[in-house]
Amino acid sequence: MYGNFIDNLRLFTRGGSGGMGYPRLGGEGGKGGDVWVVAHNKMTLKQLKDKYPQKRFVAGEGANSRVSALKGSKGKDCEIPVPVGISVTDENGKIIGELNKEKDRLLVAEGGLGGKLLTNFLPLKGQKRVIHLDLKLMADIGLVGFPNAGKSSLLSQISHAKPAIADYAFTTLKPELGKIMYNDFKQISVADLPGLIEGAHMNKGMGHKFLKHIERTRQLLFVVDISGFQLSSQTQYRTAFETIILLTKELELYKEELQTKPALLAVNKMDLPDAQDKFRVLMNQLQNPKDFLHLFEKNMIPERTIEFQHIIPISAITREGIDELKNCIRKSLDEHANWENDAYHKKQLLNLQISNTVSYSETPSKNTVTSPRMDN
């Protein structure tokens, strides 16, 4: 289903040309049609590409002015259907806008003006623009971890996804998406992203491709192997704590904002011998990270360590802790959604108060009102 997953597309767009004016009678030609990008819940970039393989979108031309219709009619608009959660940029990477909910619309190429006196009755051509569509939010939760941390096994346990699982380092070479289903039918989407490696911010391994996907998840779920990690016999062995610090550093070096996302930590492979002892050591290190940072080279220490909302010991093999993890994921998302909602309402209220203050202060009267009030 996600085999040929597409997360960005380059399209050519052009607004329609205007219509001819009518010099003798001062008639104006119609304006050319505009090109709009419109968000639809059921749409994917793959469907868009399959439906319009040419990737060219041109709006209709404005009608010429004529005796029976001195003002020519406007050309037909062209609408490009895209999925929700799209960021639209121009050829230079400048953001034109974002479409974050169903039916959001964004003007990407304007039609040309019709011919009139000002233009010597000659019409203008429509705006030409190459645009890039980038999928922003891919999933509620993004799994972050070095190869072999057990992310694919975990995804198959908590969701309906069937990722490829093997003993070699890079099983996941493209995003795998799964959905956690809850008893009350709530669904939470989870993306397992290609394994990070040290140096990913410098585009080693899957590098930026991976890190770009991380930006598109609401929250991060770090998955680490309690017994640590070693990519190959040539690379250094890392403990679970070192792994967390290095993952944090990779995210920071790519984009600092990634560290402000709410994060959870799943400590995997708790079925291994000595796992309980190692887990106690890890918890001590996570509670007092400053005491252990001297063990790292300077350039490996992140500016700020990540505060995990929940730390859950699990085993993707025996299913230990899996239900607890599902509950924590849901709790964390719900809490954050409430917080975002409150922040949004506070901002709206503040804007309302500011606009009221401004409008009333221009005409002072005895009954000046500076805060919003509901009149019955």
- pTM for the whole structure: 0.63
Predicted confidence at residue 300, as pLDDT, reads 84
pLDDT of 26 above 80: yes
User: What pLDDT, on the 0 to 100 scale, is given for residue 137?
Assistant: 61
Q: Give residue 360's pLDDT.
A: 45
* Dihedral Cα 42, 193, 323, 336, nearest 10 deg: -70
For residues 114-128, average pLDDT: 95
More confident position, 139 or 280: 280
pLDDT tens digits, one per residue of 270-311: 999 999 999 999 999 999 888 888 888 888 888 888 889 999
Q: What is the pLDDT of residue 122?
A: 96
Higher pLDDT, 127 or 350: 127
Residue 373: pLDDT band (50, 70, 90) is very low
% of residues, the chain, pLDDT over 70: 81
Do the Cβ atoms of 123 and 112 come closer than 8 Å?
A: yes
| The pairing of beta strand 139-144 with beta strand 217-225 | parallel
Q: Give the pLDDT mean for 216-227.
A: 90
Residue pair 151/57 in contact (Cβ under 8 Å)? The answer is no
Question: pLDDT tens, 45-92?
Answer: 889 999 999 999 999 999 999 999 999 999 999 999 998 888 899 999
Q: What does the pLDDT average to over 333-348?
A: 77
Q: Are 44 and 84 in contact (CB under 8 A)?
A: no
CA–CA separation, 58 and 56 (whole Å): 7
Q: Which residues of 147-176 are buried (b: 16+ CB within 10 A; e: fewer)?
A: bbbbbbbbbbbbbebebeeeeeeebbebbb
Looking at residues 245-265, what average pLDDT do you find? 85
DSSP string, 18-43: PPP-BGGGTBBPPPPPPEEEEEETT-
Helix H or strand E encompassing 209: helix 207-214
Please report, as a single letter, which amino acid is at residue 290.
K
CA–CA dist 196, 217 (Å, integer):
16
